[in-house]
Structure 1
Amino acid sequence: RPGDAAQMFERSVALAGRSPELLGQWAQALYFASDKHFTAQVQALTDEALQADPNEVTSLGLLGIAAFETQRYQAAVDYWTRLLAALPAQDASRSALEGGIARARENLAGQAAPVKARALKVRVTLAASLKGNVQPGDSVFIFARAINGPAAPLAVKRITVADLPAEVELSDADAMMPQLNLSNFAQVQLVARVSRAGQPTTGEWVGRSQPLASDTQAQQALIIDSPDN
């Protein structure tokens, strides 16, 4: 039963720690135990899971389900597309997920044509002087955060040092929290952070942009060149 599963995952988190995977599974169990209500606790757990790992599969799947159930079909497509990209090529759930994306797109077509989502284009490079200080497998988090707003990133992409230089786009599809979208804030700052531990909030090296409008069309250049103090 969902209620029993929620209690089991709560105990697991208490014993094993707040890993993104356990937090996502706990959130999912709570969602179904509350008759598919996206409660404040479910929101907090998925927020925490995706803050630690933007590709946490259970949280992405759950957010897609919640969006679909509330007829936010574009958000469902966005979350499930991110989930699909994170799954192994042979994962048995890919077929059902692709079917869900197709249904969401069909339902979306029946609604008013959506406004084209704004997207910030970013080219990220690593300063030549730092190449001896990083490893190819170190995580690189590229994100936008509000100038006047919450500290949490509004949109985030995760790559590795080996992928640099890289060109990415940040949009509402990359939101870590459904209520915090890039399009809701006029001014943002772009940040690229190298984190050996794989944590988006702390790392060793960083590059930051000047404040810019969130609907800026021109590609922005970010150079990772400073200690992350």
Structure 2
Amino acid sequence: MALFIGIAALFTLAVLAFALYPLWPARRGLALGIGGVSAAAVLGLYLLLGRPEAIGYVPPPSPQVDQAQQLDQALAELEAVVRAEPANQEARVLLARSYMQLGRPAEAQPHFAEALARDAGNAALMVDYAESLFRAGKPDVPDARAREWIDKAIAAEPGNQRARFFRGILLLQAGQAAEAAKAWEALLPELDRQTAQALLPQINQARVQAGQPPLADSVLPAAMTVQVTVELDPALRAATPPGAVLFVFAKRVDGGGPPVAAKRLPVSAFPVQLALSDADSIMPTATLSSQAAFTLSARISASGSAEAGAGDWQSETLTVQSDKLAPVTLVLRKQP
């Protein structure tokens, strides 16, 4: 603070001396008066508008810096665990996958290799190790070891989707675009529509490189649809509140998060027949087809709000397996 004040004062005096020099030989009193008033004005303006507390201010570390420090600390602790407990497979794999998430595949490789030495038949680890190998290499240079481990993973677990996806990447890297496209195309029927939609552009890029026409969206799996019939308890048919609204929800099995699909319909006649599909999803990242199983329920809301309230009629909650879709009937009953 003192250094800043001293430098500011010297700078102010130097400027005033230069500006008032022509008056000094003939009218020294006037020059001193103008200089004094000017210096006082500069000091007054600084005290009024300046921020002395900003001198020497050190900004707090940004959230990004804090997060990076916390991540480095977590990695260091995990590395210490692996050094102290070499047989701790869970910690070693977590450390290797953390390196992969941070874009440091070369550091992940020895840990994946050691984990594989302790669990030689683990197809998931084979894919992890292969990914670390080819991601650490040059994009245009095929890695024979990565291809070898991917082939081993597929031999150990023929349905492993990650292995088959990375096999397509390695084939494309090796200039075998047609084979890469074929490998990825074989995955399409096994994927949900959202994942298949993300893969299709890569397939078409490989097909174009191979001189083949691109595939149309019609090759994508159909959006998942479940047929729902909502019936009303006979005892309630004469008591349907006017202006009531019917809600039908599909939710995650654990009940967490927003519904994965929902419909809102005005109450008219029962039974009500409808279909819930990915088109009814609330969030594009949480769809019916992304769930291995989900629950279905229906509710009549007297207030018209999606939130449960007094006077609502609720159905039982049914669990549906995505690979065993069948029409579902929900019966609305008055809640106690």
TM-score where L is the length of structure 2: 0.34
Larger Rg: 2
Task: Indicate the structure with greater strand content.
Answer: 1
Task: Indicate the structure with greater helix content.
Answer: 2
Question: Quick one: higher RCO (CA 8 Å, sep 6+), 1 or 2?
Answer: 1
